[in-house]
Structure 1
Amino acid sequence: MAQENLQPTLDLRRDLVELAALQAAHGEQALTAALERAVTFRRWRAEDVRSILAAGSGTPHPAPAGDALVLELPPVPTRSLAEDTLDKIGQVS
C-alpha cells in the first residue's frame, strides 16, 4: 500500500526533473509558452511539454469561432440518391 502512495510523488519528481532539463535546453520563454499550450490542451506530463517544444512554432493556435461564413454559391445539378445504390456501383452513367 505504501508503494502505491509513492507513485504520484515519483512521477511528479521525474516530471519536474525533465521540465528543468527542458528549460536548460530551450530557455525559460520557450518552456513557458510550451507549458501554456500544454495547459490549453489539458496535457499534464513533461513528455507532452517535450513534444510541444519539439513541434516548434509550426503548431496551430486555435482561436474562438468567428461569425458564420456566408457565401453565394452557384446552383449545381442534382441527382437521385437511388443512383448511388450498391447494385449501381461500377456502372457508368
Structure 2
Amino acid sequence: MMRAELAQNFRQLELKKKLEPMLPVLDFIAWSLLKHNQDVVSQLWVLSKQQSWRTSKSIPNSLWNWICSAVDEVTLDPMTKHAWLLLSDD
C-alpha cells in the first residue's frame, strides 16, 4: 500500500470509532422525527436490528422508555386461553 492509502485507511478507522458511539443518538433522532407513525417505526426498527450483522447487546434508553410507555393492563380469560398458555392464580 502506498503511504497516502494507509493514511486514508487510518482516517476512516478513526471516523468509524467516533461514529459508532453515536448510533443510539441517531436511533433517538430517527424515532423523534417519526414518532407520529409509532407502530410502523417500531416494526421497522426491530426489522433493521434483526437484519444487521452487528447489533449492540442493549436497547438505547430512549427506545426502552418508549417501549415501556406503551404498557397497558391485560386481563386473560382462562376459558379462552391458548392450550399452551399456562395461567397462575396471581
Higher relative contact order (CA 8 A, sep 6+): 2
Taking structure 2 as the reference length, what is the TM-score of the superposition?
Answer: 0.32
Taking structure 1 as the reference length, what is the TM-score of the superposition?
Answer: 0.31
Between Structure 1 and Structure 2, whose CA radius of gyration is higher? 1
